[in-house]
């Protein structure tokens, strides 16, 4: 099954996903994902203890291990877990709620890097809309260093997310590459119930977000390039807001 779960279509069909590496497997277990199968390269026996958490254990040869693994270095351990469902209603709101909304992020590596950043920044929840990436893609798990399991994530369409944000009276701060809008460094963004909204590198945000925004911001740049990698932009914006609020 592990070989088939490399493909998005099969992950959706079986409702399982694969995790490679002891650290990431431990994080999935800690986040209460339901473990199913574990595959151990039989020459690396030191991880056998963790197999007690899984329904079935398979000792495999190097040839099979090489065929089913996605990463070059997994420590000889690969496991499958049952997917979770994500609901916006489960997000808990308070006076200092700090959210990140991502619209249409296109590359698994970028999404994983962003989730790693949001975990480091202590973001309360990540809301994905118009999402084309399977968050259980092995590249998302790998590039997030397992932070895909520790983040509070929800997936919905932009209409429902906008309605929910407005109902909860959360300030919507959208981002743009245009220079005739507010410079993030010239603002005092009070981190009280706000959501930063960031779009795909190729298209940016849809017009619906700009119409619903309380503020639209950009990161000033001096060079000839008019935009940054989306994961880099996200890190700059989130940590600038944290800095402004002396939150570290």
What local confidence, expressed as pLDDT, does residue 51 receive?
81
Would you state the structure tokens that stand for residue 223, as one six-digit string?
A: 């060079």
The full 3-state SS of the chain, as one line of letters, equals: CCCHHHCHHHHHHHCEEEEECHHHHHHHHHCCCCEEEEEEECCCCCCHHHHHHCCEEEEECHHHHHHHCCCCCCCCEEEEEECCCCCHHHCCCCCCCEEEEEECCCCHHHHHHHHHHHHHHCCCEEEEECCCCCCCCHHHHHHCCCHHHHCCEEEECHHHHHHHHHHCCCEEEEECCCCCCEEHHHCCCCCCCEEEEEEECCCECCHHHHHHCCEEEECCCCCCCCCCCHHHHHHHHHHHHHHHCCCC
What local confidence, expressed as pLDDT, does residue 118 receive?
97
Measuring CA to CA, how many Å separate 88 from each of 92, 137, 196?
9, 21, 16
User: Comparing C-alpha atoms, which of 121, 72, 105 is closest to residue 229?
Assistant: 105
Distance CA 88, CA 160 (A): 9
Q: Sheet of 77-82: strands edge to edge?
A: 16-20, 77-82, 35-41, 56-60
pLDDT, one tens digit for every residue, the chain (248 residues) = 555 556 667 677 778 899 998 889 999 999 999 999 998 887 765 666 788 899 898 888 888 888 888 776 777 889 999 998 888 988 988 888 999 999 999 999 999 999 999 999 999 999 999 888 899 998 999 999 999 999 999 999 999 999 999 999 999 999 998 766 889 998 887 767 999 999 988 888 989 999 999 999 999 888 777 778 999 999 999 999 998 887 65
What local confidence, expressed as pLDDT, does residue 61 receive?
86
Distance CA 65, CA 242 (A): 43
Distance CA 160, CA 70 (A): 35
Instruction: For residue 46, give every residue at least 6 positions away whose Cβ sits within 8 Å of its Cβ, in sequence order, or none.
Output: none
Torsion angles phi and psi, residue 17, rounded to 5 = -145, 165
Distance CA 169, CA 96 (A): 12
């Amino acid at each position: 099954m592990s070989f088939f779960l490399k493909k998005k279509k099969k992950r959706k069909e079986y409702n399982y996903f694969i995790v490679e590496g002891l650290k990431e497997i431990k994080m999935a277990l800690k986040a209460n994902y339901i473990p199913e199968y574990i595959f151990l390269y039989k020459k690396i026996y030191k991880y056998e203890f963790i197999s007690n958490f899984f329904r079935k254990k398979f000792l495999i040869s190097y040839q099979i291990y090489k065929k089913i693994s996605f990463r070059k270095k997994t420590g000889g351990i690969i496991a499958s877990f049952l997917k979770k469902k994500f609901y916006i209603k489960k997000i808990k709101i308070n006076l200092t709620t700090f959210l990140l909304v991502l619209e249409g992020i296109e590359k698994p590596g970028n999404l994983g890097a962003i989730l790693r950043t949001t975990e480091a920044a202590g973001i309360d929840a990540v809301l994905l809309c118009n999402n084309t990436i399977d968050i259980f893609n092995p590249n998302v798990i790998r590039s997030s260093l397992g932070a895909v399991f520790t983040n509070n994530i929800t997936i919905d369409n932009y209409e429902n997310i906008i309605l929910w944000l407005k109902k909860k009276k959360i300030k919507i701060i959208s981002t743009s590459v245009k220079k005739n809008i507010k410079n993030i460094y010239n603002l005092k963004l009070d981190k009280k119930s706000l959501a930063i909204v960031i779009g795909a590198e190729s298209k940016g945000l849809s017009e619906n977000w700009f119409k619903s925004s309380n503020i639209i911001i950009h990161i000033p740049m001096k060079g000839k390039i008019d935009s940054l990698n989306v994961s880099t932009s996200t890190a700059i914006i989130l940590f600038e807001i944290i800095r402004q609020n002396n939150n570290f």
